[in-house]
């Protein structure tokens, strides 16, 4: 029998989009799934819309809570879920019919893998391929290269504190992926487009200020000091003589994110009594 997959859908004032999101689940090739919709204190018609759509659909559960933010809404849904695997899905995004089936198959045959994602496309106010960089620890420590709608194991979630509610402006998924990586889990990307991310002018990440981004990066760094410290322990990573590695890291070292974390790494190395790198 196929393992149960729990699809967690946080919703805050998404009455205009959540019907389309629910509709894409009814097209899934994978059959053994449940969907938990968490109404995070919506003030629009979201509740009325959701309850009308799922009234006769047994695979859906509905939970309403006071507004606590995206991280806590995801956590609340996952805590009452019964699935072996978890798939977060925001209330305005879409997935392909065969995403879950392909991801579960890989997870079932690769027990050391803890995160499975895929290629993605934009829709809404912007269309086209979402050109995420290939996964590597260099990339992952300087910017998030795994989108939020990725499958992971419920047992891994239970070993953590869940999504961090302190990430109030966003990037709670980046922080959570680093936590799973710290557990020793591997990451796999399916080379097919399975996720569709809606672009809206008022979306959280598009309205994040420079100061908010700085606060979140500081928080991520502090939350994962051991990971950053252990990965950047070897000066060879930044050796001027290592031409091959310089080539691989070229795109990263030119980025604002790299320069920002470069300063933070030097702070960490000083705290550990290690020589800073140039």
Domain co-membership, 225 together with 91: no
75 and 149 both lie in a single domain: yes
Q: Identify whether residues 181 and 246 lie together within a single domain.
A: no
> Is the residue at 276 inside a domain?
no
* Domain, as residue range, for 35: 5-207
Are 201 and 220 members of one domain? no
The pLDDT score that the predictor gives to residue 260 is 67
Mark whether 14 and 64 lie in a shared domain.
Answer: yes
Looking at residue 225, what is its pLDDT?
Answer: 86
Least confident of 33-42, 160-169, 199-208: 199-208
- Burial degree of 167 (CB within 10 A; 0-12, 13-18, 19+): buried
Tell whether 117 and 76 lie within a shared domain: yes
Instruction: State percent of the chain over pLDDT 90.
Output: 65
**82/194 same-domain check:** yes
Write the CATH number for 120: 3.90.550.10
- 188-205 as b/e, with b when 16 or more CB fall inside 10 Å? bbbeeebbbbbbeeebee
pLDDT tens, position by position, 85-132: 999 999 999 999 999 999 999 999 999 999 999 999 999 999 999 988
Specify the residue for token string 């700085």: 214
Both 174 and 222 in one domain: the answer is: no
Residues 129 and 252 in one domain: no
Helices 70-79 and 172-182 sit at what angle, rounded to 10 degrees? Answer: 50
Report the pLDDT value the prediction gives residue 134, as an integer from 0 to 100: 86
Same domain, 134 and 255: no
Residue range 24-80, pLDDT digits in tens: 999 999 999 999 999 999 999 999 999 999 998 999 999 999 999 999 999 999 999
Total count of domains within the chain: 2
Same domain flag for 185 and 234: no
Residue 182 confidence (pLDDT) above 60: yes
| Pairing mode, strands 151-153 and 85-88 | antiparallel
- Same domain for 217 and 176? no
- The model's pTM: 0.83
């Amino acid at each position: 029998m196929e393992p149960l997959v729990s699809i967690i859908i946080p919703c805050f004032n998404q009455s205009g989009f959540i019907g389309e999101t629910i509709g894409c689940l009814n097209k899934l090739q994978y059959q053994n799934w449940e969907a938990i919709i968490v109404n995070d204190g919506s003030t629009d018609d979201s509740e009325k819309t959701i309850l009308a759509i799922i009234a006769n659909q047994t695979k859906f559960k509905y939970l309403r809570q006071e507004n606590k933010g995206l991280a806590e809404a995801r956590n609340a849904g996952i805590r009452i879920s019964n699935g072996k695997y978890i798939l977060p899905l925001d209330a305005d995004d879409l997935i392909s019919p065969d995403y879950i089936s392909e991801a579960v198959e890989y997870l079932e045959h690769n027990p050391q893998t803890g995160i499975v994602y895929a290629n993605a496309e934009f829709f809404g106010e912007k269309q086209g391929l979402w050109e995420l960089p290939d996964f590597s620890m260099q990339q992952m420590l300087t910017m998030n290269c795994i989108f939020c709608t990725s499958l992971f194991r419920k047992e891994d979630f239970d070993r953590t504190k869940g999504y961090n509610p302190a990430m109030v402006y966003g990037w709670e998924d980046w922080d959570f992926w680093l936590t799973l990586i710290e557990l020793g889990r591997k990451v796999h990307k399916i080379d097919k487009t399975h996720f569709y991310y809606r672009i809206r002018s008022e979306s959280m990440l598009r309205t994040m200020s420079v100061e908010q981004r700085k606060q979140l990066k500081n928080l991520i760094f502090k939350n994962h000091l051991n990971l950053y410290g252990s990965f950047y322990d070897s000066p060879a990573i930044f050796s001027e003589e290592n031409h091959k590695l310089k080539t691989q890291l070229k795109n990263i070292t030119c980025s604002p994110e790299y320069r920002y974390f470069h300063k933070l790494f030097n702070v960490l190395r000083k705290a550990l009594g290690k020589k800073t790198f140039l």
